[in-house]
Amino acid sequence: MNGHVTIRLASERVNHCVASSNELPRFYTPGEVISGMQDFMRGHGTYVEDDCIKSSVAGVMQKVNKLICVRPLKSRYVGEIGDVVVGRVLEVQQKRWKIETNSRLDSILQLSSVNLPGGELRRRSAEDEQMMRKHLQEGDLISAEVQSVFSDGSLSLHTRSLKYGKLSQGVLMKVFPSLIKRRKNHFHNLPCGIAIIIGNNGFIWMSPMQRNVIIGENKDEIQNYEHQPINKSDREIMARLKNCVAALVAAKMMLDDSSIMFAYEESLRYDDVKELLDPEVMLDIAFLTQHRLNSIMEE
Amino acid sequence: MPPPDLLSSQGLRLDGRRPNELRRIRCKLGVFTQPDGSAYLEQGNTKVLAAVYGPHQAAKSKSSVEGVVVNCQYSMATFSTGERKNRPRGDRKSQEMSLHLRQALTAAIKTELYPRSQIDIYIEVLQADGGAYCASVNAATLALVDAGVPLRAYACACSASMAWRGAQPEPLLDVGHVEEAAGGVVLTVASLPSTGSIALLELSHRLHSDYFEMVLSRAMQGCKDIEIVLDKAVREHLAEGWTKQDVVTI
């Protein structure tokens, strides 16, 4: 090994904060009294004690009419119906799969809420139950949509659309769910030739864009496509994107297609992908991205 | 009765502190990226790391419908004490510490919110210079706040001891290793200072009941002081990690 290793002093650590901290909101911390009980309802992150509403997490207060909530800086993913999530299969059970989605409880994917090969209107037989493991195995990654939320907070997923389903080759990144910006669309084909799924649960999936696959082609060819090696330039772009997302996360900036794309474009001034892991470079990219986002906001 | 030389004639302690003075507390939230929450806390020379995972799906055997299962693991690094330790965790002392930590933290966490879930709290003592339990509770509280776990209030722990200044009894706050080793009584309190409730109380030796109230009130005062320090650290962390985009949703 003769690679360069840099070990820096703790005092030389880079502060990744890029946000211009001109005015800070009022923060609430656990046990702090928010207001009296009269006229208000308690929401998430609060509790009632001695006729007062108190905060139970550290974060920013949100008020909707009479409802008071406190939202923490980061927490586990709290699912809402219609969210796009990326998850990993943990277990194959009777008629359903257990999926890990960074949620408080494991999510469930029913056999009846997946599209099995061979058309939408198909009856599910006992054979299908036996073939479940062939369809999705333990450890497989899938993209899915939240269909419903059970009373205990666990999620029921579905993949009944062609855009959802098993993910084959690509890069998975895990970030805090609170950094994901809610958008109409969470599937993006970036101009650099990479398809990206920004899961609401903080799982980000990057894969090469599927170019020449025509749906309805025979199944073997699609299978083959999944196992085709990905060329080096695509891999490099994915690695670069991954490092860009890491830079944005370190600066605690919100993630959506535009911020990721801006960061990618700014990162092109550094030739070597691994340079992007340097803390100063990460800060530089985050700063330039923030600048571009600000200039767009002003327009 | 402890040896009288814990306090000098000027009323200062062996490390130069006043009887009601805490050791310097330095802390930082979010030191790791992998766990849901983490914190580092220094109390004098006692240094502790805490990591929180969860709430996540509980193992089937532990799962309870009443509330979240809190799982603690206390471990001391082999290099943390003067004499090198053989077993960092799993010995009797660590197991007892884990149970005590669980008791104090379960009192603070709003367990009823999350049925069928589990929270894992891992404590690693990097350097033990007295009051390792107190530092562990304080670090774990910070890590729980960082993880966004709902708490009733901050859980703080502090220790207190007894000394004599002339003929006057004088309780000592936040006992260090030297004072612990001198053989005096050590009272450890874990409490929720903002509500005034006590989550755990432990006395290492016998203490005359005439002095108990005095030592306890000093330890409680220490918990209140620690809460202020922790609250300040949390607010600083929030100000640093707060993203401007959040305003849009308000």
3-state secondary structure chain B: CCCHHHECCCCCECCCCCCCCCCCEEEEECCCCCCCEEEEEEECCEEEEEEEEEEEECCCCCCCCCCCEEEEEEEECCCCCCCCCCCCCCCHHHHHHHHHHHHHHHHHECHHHCCCEEEEEEEEEEECCCCHHHHHHHHHHHHHHHHCCCECCCCEEEEEEEEEECCEEEEEECCCHHHHHCCCCEEEEEEECCCCEEEEEEECCCCCHHHHHHHHHHHHHHHHHHHHHHHHHHHHHHHHHCCCCHHHHC
CATH code, domain with A45:
2.40.50.100
Indicate whether A140 belongs to any domain.
Answer: yes
Shared domain check, A49 and A37 = yes
- Nearest CB to A106 within list B57, B114, B195: B57
Same domain, A140 and A86: yes
- Write down the pLDDT at residue B23: 95
The whole-number pLDDT of residue B247 equals: 42
- Other CB atoms within a 10 A radius of the CB of residue B197 amount to 12
pLDDT value at residue B249: 38
What are B57-82's pLDDT values in tens digits?
A: 998 888 888 889 999 999 999 999 98
The stretches in chain A having pLDDT less than 50 are 214
pLDDT of residue B80: 93
Quick check: A31 and B195 CB within 8 A? yes
Question: Which H or E run contains A244?
Answer: helix A232-250
- B66 to chain A: closest CA residue: A152
ipTM of the complex: 0.86
Where are chain B's structural domains? 4-249
* Least confident segment among A1-5, B28-32, B97-101: A1-5
Could you tell me if A82 and A163 lie in one domain?
yes
Residues A189 and A287 in one domain: yes
Q: What is the pLDDT of residue B239?
A: 87
| A49 and A123 part of one domain | no
Q: What is the pLDDT of residue B2?
A: 47
- pLDDT tens, residue by residue, B218-247: 999 999 999 999 999 999 999 887 765 544
pLDDT in the model for residue B246: 45
* Range of lowest pLDDT (A18-22, B21-25, B110-114, B156-160): A18-22
Q: Which one has a higher pLDDT value, B9 or B159?
A: B159
Domain that holds residue A105: 75-167
Asked if pLDDT for residue B197 goes beyond 90, the answer is: yes
Cβ of A179 and B235 within 8 Å?
no
Determine, yes or no, domain membership for A188. Answer: yes
- The answer to whether residue A24 neighbours chain B at the CB level (below 8 Å) is yes
Count of domains forming chain A: 3
Interface contact B88, partner A, CB < 8 A: no
B59–A contact, CB cutoff 8 A: no
A222-257 per-residue burial string, b: 16 or more CB within 10 A, e: under 16? beeeeeeeeeeebeebbebbbbbbbbbbbbbbbbbb
B148 and A57 within 8 Å at the Cβ level: the answer is yes
What pLDDT is stored for residue A123 in this prediction? 66
> What CATH number was assigned to the domain covering residues B4-249?
3.30.230.70
Q: Which residues of B touch A49 (CB under 8 A)?
A: 152, 195
What is the per-residue pLDDT for B250?
33
Tell me how close the Cα of B241 comes to any Cα of chain A, in angstroms. 6
Cβ neighbours of B115 in A, within 8 Å: 152
Angle at B249 between CA B244 and CA B250, to 5 degrees: 95
What band does B164 get if pLDDT is binned at 50, 70 and 90?
confident
Same domain? A284 vs A264: yes
Segment (H or E) for A287: helix A279-298
Look at residue A218 and tell me if it is in a domain. no
